[in-house]
Amino acid sequence: MRANHSDDADAGPQVSTMPLLVRVPEVFAALMPEILGAMDSGKPKRFGKEYFLIQGDPEVLRASEVGKFVSWCLPVEHGWPCRPENMEGFVEKAAQGLAKKFGGLQPQAILIGQLDPSGPNRYFKTLASNLRGRVLQVFPTPADGWKGVEEQDPGQSTLFCLVGKEGLYCGMVSPREANGFYPGGTKYIRQTSAETISRAGAKIAEALHFLGLYQPQLPAGSKWLELGASPGGMTSELLQRGYTVTAVDRAALDARLDGAKGLKFTRADVATFVPPKGTKYDAVLSDMNGDPMGAIRQVGRLSAFLRPGGLAVFTLKTTSVDSFAGINTLEHTILAQAARDGLTMVARTHLTYNRNEFTVFFRKEG
């Protein structure tokens, strides 16, 4: 929504609000009263474990300190509070209602997901799939066909819908504004296989997918500097994407990475590591534990070896603070330090595979 201006000059701009379905990760449960209070949302209605229906302005929310706690945001332009599992003909009625409301607006894609994606009941996963199939049948098909999740233009409008035991909630919004390509923002990434070294591999896979909201993926052959790489979960994921990786850590990498093509491992303290003269990287990655200020200083120091416009991906660990205000203060300090080193924040978010941490993306200025 946009600010509405009153005829009374003394009144100043009046911010209009609308229903927003926001997802706040359950890991922040202890901070939820402060987070919801900072949204100025009145009395939010809770759906499942992580979703809240509030009144707000999406632009104001994204720009505020509370924005980083919202992993996904859907302006609700069509809400149908009901109990779908108890309703005969729900799929047909919902599909026809959506076609009437949104059929002439030409969304690039129609994506429908669950209000409780981690819930054990598979009924709503099946319902979402069936509903999407029927909606695609009753909507006018675009001349160039419907775009899939990975084909979406981050800046064009998609019809996103979430369905659960509380009903159906939908809106037209771009993936960038919603904070994710998928309904609810979640990209399911397999974490358990014989090749999996650690869950960090899923984290960087999701991070790179999220980055697609803001810039094209780095091409194969791009050079990464990874700080605090052990045991190598992220290293393995980067190598599988065709990147070359210089990994630095005092601890050894998993033996499965021995002799891996494109990998150069330096067993050393990150604080003492200096790349060879003339080295230039396309990206630097830090998922280091410990003091976040110490970590961002090392990222800043080594960003001198980034090419202009290069990428820095930084995990901001917040385990050292335990309050809403403390996390915000820590973020301000981290961003100020990064700015002094010529790093400009592109985006920051809480990924599905993050815990008490945020993933921050920086660009190296020329």
Same domain for 207 and 76: no
User: What is the structure's pLDDT at 15?
Assistant: 55
Domain with 347 in it: 200-364
Which of these three, 153, 186, 219, is where a domain ends? Answer: 186
**Res. 194 pLDDT band, cuts 50 70 90:** low
The proportion of the chain whose per-residue pLDDT surpasses 90, expressed as a percent, equals 85
Asked if 142 and 218 sit in the same domain, the reply is no
pLDDT exceeds cutoff 50 at 201: yes
pLDDT tens for each residue of 112-153: 999 987 777 789 999 999 999 999 999 999 999 999 999 999
Residues 348 and 218 in one domain: yes
| Structure confidence by residue, pLDDT tens digits, 287-327 | 999 999 999 999 999 999 999 999 999 999 999 998 999 99
Q: Which of 68, 75, 77 is nearest to 24 (CA)?
A: 68
The arithmetic mean of pLDDT across residues 153-169, rounded, is: 97
Q: Are 88 and 140 within one domain?
A: yes
Report how many domains make up the chain.
Answer: 2
User: Are 160 and 239 in the same domain?
Assistant: no
Helix 123-138 to helix 90-102 angle (10° resolution) is 50
By the 10 Å C-beta count (0-12 exposed, 13-18 middle, 19+ buried), 41 is classed as buried
